[in-house]
Structure 1
Amino acid sequence: MNSKGQVTIPAVLRARHNLHEGDELDVVDDGGKLCIIRRHGSDTRGQRLVRGMRGHGNARDTAGMSTDELMELLRGE
């Protein structure tokens, strides 16, 4: 634990429990043991990504484009 009270969760455990940067966790006292649990009702990583992207695109620019045209646009071809 560092001077700010922050704790590092090892990568193996983060992967095993599907934890990602920005996930909200709680630390609870369970009979003398500290347990780290995912905060109930917090947004998933995907929900946070979508919220961050919302309003940054312009569907009018791509309306009516074919899949090939969209792929060219995305690849910068």
Structure 2
Amino acid sequence: MRVTEKGQVTIPKPIRDKLGIGPGSEVEFVDRGASVEVVRIDDADARQRRREQIRKALDALRGTLDLGGMTTDEYMEMIRGPRDDLDPR
């Protein structure tokens, strides 16, 4: 089996069928030292992992934006522009 320039390989059809891997399925690569194990991740686990990744990213960003004393509404108006059609100020 050859690895593409992008680091991709094709999982053989009998293995995909056995593990129930299809388009959009999530898999994980587990380092076993001299080998790698491909493990199918079920939808619930995949959703939980995505939530955890998002939470970590948001935690890393928390407190990094200095609004210079502006309220959230003032900041949103600054980046969006005035919304005269909805909020004539």
TM-score norm. by structure 1 comes to: 0.49
Task: Answer with 1 or 2: which has the greater Rg.
Answer: 2
